[in-house]
């Protein structure tokens, strides 16, 4: 392949993370090939060198960039939205298990509903953590339509659990968008696997059945979000890496089948 700057043949070219073109070792850095996305490079470097958000403008574009940080930041508005969203999801979870699909009993009802809510909240926080790690603004916000449909789910046999989502602002390439999207379903897969591993510790008790219910919900939540369509996480992951999408999709599918059709008939 030829370097797009000097046209020298290169066996292992470097791909620029910003303009996504390929270059030789000499021209691999953005400043060495007059990168068309130089403003983004400068913005990221400014944010990393700062302890406060940086407003970066380029032509008609203007974005607020937060410094890269491993600390998860929450605003008062976001905390309120998270509390309302979690409350409605918990209520929907209780109504779901009151139908006794897993025969969890009273103690199991409480535990299964908690695991139901954790699957939702940890999924969203995973998106938030990864996005903020890349210096992006990321906060959970309720969707009025989603909140209404989730509230209706409390009294309806059909369940729609999506009171809101993490809203992300700033600039990010396909790699960062894909990794951020991947984090949510991946957390659900980890939760489902962990609950299945913990089940044998409780034998045939109601706690074991509740753990199975939590694993089944989390596995399905991961599978549903991995659909490569529209606003689902799956489409962003698929565009970023088909290999990672296949691995996570198959893992969530296997866990969903195992918990709902293999283990559940014997619970």
Query: How is the chain split into domains, by residue range?
Result: 1-36, 43-67, 76-266
Between the CA atoms of 142, 148, 154 and 156, what dihedral angle is there, to the nearest 10 degrees?
-140
- State residue 13's pLDDT score: 80
Q: Residues 137, 139, 145, 148: what is their CA dihedral angle, to the nearest 10 degrees?
A: 180
Q: What CA–CA distance (Å, rounded) separates 39 from 220?
A: 41
Q: Of 11-25, 39-53, 184-198, where does mean pLDDT reach its minimum?
A: 39-53
The predicted structure's pLDDT at residue 53: 52
Residue 178 CB contacts under 8 Å (≥ 6 apart), including other chains: 236, 237, 239, 240, 241, 244
More confident residue, 201 or 267: 201
pLDDT value, residue 266: 46
The pLDDT value given to residue 87: 93
Q: Is the pLDDT of residue 49 over 50?
A: no
Burial category of 99 from C-beta neighbours within 10 Å (exposed 0-12, middle 13-18, buried 19 and up): exposed
For the chain, the average pLDDT equals 83
Using an 8 Å Cβ cutoff, are 193 and 214 in contact? no
| CATH superfamily, with its number, for domain 1-36 | AN1-like Zinc finger (4.10.1110.10)
What pLDDT digit, counting tens, does each position of 57-115 carry?
444 444 455 555 555 778 899 999 999 999 999 998 888 777 665 556 777 788 888 99
Among 151, 162, 67, residue whose Cα is nearest residue 124: 162
Range of lowest pLDDT (36-45, 100-109, 218-227): 36-45
Predicted confidence (pLDDT) per residue in 118-154, tens digit: 999 999 999 999 988 887 888 899 999 999 999 998 8
Q: What H or E segment, with its residue span, contains residue 141?
A: strand 137-142
Interval 149-208: pLDDT, tens: 999 988 888 878 889 999 887 777 788 899 999 999 999 999 999 999 999 999 888 888
pLDDT score recorded for residue 42: 59
pTM of the model: 0.71
Contact 128, 139 (CB under 8 A): yes
Q: What is the mean pLDDT of residues 248-258?
A: 96
């Amino acid at each position: 392949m030829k370097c797009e700057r000097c046209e020298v043949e290169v066996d292992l070219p470097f791909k620029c993370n910003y303009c996504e073109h390929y270059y030789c070792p000499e021209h691999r850095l953005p400043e060495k090939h007059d990168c068309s996305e130089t403003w983004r490079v400068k913005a990221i470097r400014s944010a990393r060198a700062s302890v406060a958000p940086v407003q970066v403008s380029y032509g008609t574009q203007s974005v607020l960039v937060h410094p890269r940080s491993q600390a998860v930041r929450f605003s008062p508005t976001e905390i309120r939205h998270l509390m309302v969203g979690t409350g409605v999801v918990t209520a929907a979870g209780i109504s779901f298990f009151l139908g006794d699909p897993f025969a969890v009993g009273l103690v199991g009802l409480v535990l299964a509903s908690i695991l139901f809510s954790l699957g939702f909240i940890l999924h969203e926080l995973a998106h938030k953590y990864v996005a903020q790690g890349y210096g992006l603004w990321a906060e959970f916000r309720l969707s009025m339509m989603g909140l209404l449909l989730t509230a209706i789910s409390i009294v309806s046999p059909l369940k729609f659990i999506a009171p809101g989502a993490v809203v992300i602002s700033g600039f990010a390439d396909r790699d960062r968008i894909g990794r951020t999207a991947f984090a949510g379903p991946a957390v659900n897969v980890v939760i489902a696997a962990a609950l299945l591993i913990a089940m044998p510790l409780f034998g045939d008790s109601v706690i074991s059945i509740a753990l199975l219910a939590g694993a089944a919900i989390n596995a399905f939540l991961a599978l549903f979000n991995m659909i490569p369509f529209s606003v689902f996480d799956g489409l962003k992951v698929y565009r970023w890496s088909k290999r990672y999408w296949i691995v996570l999709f198959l893992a969530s599918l296997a866990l969903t089948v195992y918990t709902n059709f293999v283990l559940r008939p014997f619970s």
